[in-house]
Amino acid sequence: MTSARPLSAEQYAKTQGRRNLADLPFTEKVKCVIELQRRLQPIYAQRGIYIKPWKS
């Protein structure tokens, strides 16, 4: 059985970043979702897909 390689600094930072996001209060997570919708709206619009960002 091979042992698992330790995470590189970049991998660790990414994993930790995901954990930090998961630990946010739900109200903050909803703000993140709305921000994602706002940022992706113009990209999706170019493909003809309409996104309406939620009101918080």
Interacting residues with other proteins (CB under 8 A)? 18-19, 21-22, 24, 26-27, 29-30, 32-33, 36-37, 40, 50-52, 54-56
**Least distance from C-beta 29 to other proteins, angstroms?**
4
Structure tokens at 50: 């309409």
**Least distance from C-beta 12 to other proteins, angstroms?**
14
- Measured from the CB atom, the residue of 47 and 52 that comes closer to other proteins is 52
Judge whether 31 and 55 are in contact, CB under 8 Å: no
Burial of 34 (0-12, 13-18, 19+ CB in 10 A): middle
